[in-house]
Amino acid sequence: MSEEASNYYSILLITIGAISGAWVRWKITENIQNTYLKSWSTFSVNIISTFFLGLLLSLLGRIESADVKINLSLLIGLGFLGSLSTFSTFIMDLLETMFNQKWKQSILLLLSSIFGGLLMASLGYKLGNQ
C-alpha cells in the first residue's frame, strides 16, 4: 500500500473504532440518572476497557504480520478501547462527589479506579500470555 493510501486506511480504522467505542459507552451510561450509579457505570466502562487493552497488547505480541498488528492496534486499541474508556467523565464524577462533600465516595472512586485499572490491565496482560 502506498503511504497515502495506508494513511487513509488508518483514519478509517480509527474512526470506526472510536465511533463504536463511544456508542457503547453512551448506551451503557445514557439512561442512568442517579449520580451515584452514573459514576460507577463510568468506572465499569473504564475498568473493562483497561482489561481488554492489556489482553490486546499481549495477544498482539503473538501476531507475526506487522501490518495486521498495526491495523488491530489502531482499530481496537487506539480506536475502540481508547474511545470506550474516558478520563474526562471520570474527573467530572470525581469532582461531583467532592463538591457534594461525599469524601468517602470520592476516595473510594479514586482508589478503586486506579488500583482496579492497574489490576485489570495486568490481569488481561497475563491472561493473553497464558
Partner 1 sequence: MSNFILLAIGASAGGLIRWQIENNLLCNVIGTLIIGILVSMKSKKELHLLIGVGFCGALTTFSGWIMECIELMSANQFMKATQLIFMTLGLGLIAAILGFAIGYGIKHLKLFQSQSSIRRSEVRQRF
Q: C-beta of 54: minimal distance to partner 1 in Å?
A: 7
Segment holding 69, helix H or strand E: helix 66-72
Binding residue (CB under 8 A) for partner 1 from 39, 89, 97, 105:
89
Which of 6, 8, 23, 107 is in the footprint of partner 1 by CB under 8 A? 23
Q: Alpha carbon 15 to chain centroid distance? A: 15
Q: State the DSSP string of 5-60.
A: HHHHHHHHHHHHHHHHHHHHHHHHHTT---HHHHHHHHHHHHHHHHHHHHHHHHHH
Tell the smallest beta-carbon distance from residue 85 to partner 1 (Å): 4
Q: Please, which of residues 29-88 interact with partner 1 by CB under 8 A?
A: 29, 46, 49-50, 52-54, 57, 74, 78-79, 81-88
Please count the residues of this chain forming the interface with partner 1, following the rule CB under 8 A.
45
The answer to whether residues 106 and 98 touch, using CB atoms and an 8 Å cutoff, is: yes
Q: Does 122 bind partner 1 (CB under 8 A)?
A: yes
- The footprint of partner 1 (CB under 8 A) covers 10-11, 14-15, 17-19, 21-23, 25-26, 29, 46, 49-50, 52-54, 57, 74, 78-79, 81-92, 94-95, 110, 113-114, 117-118, 121-122, 125
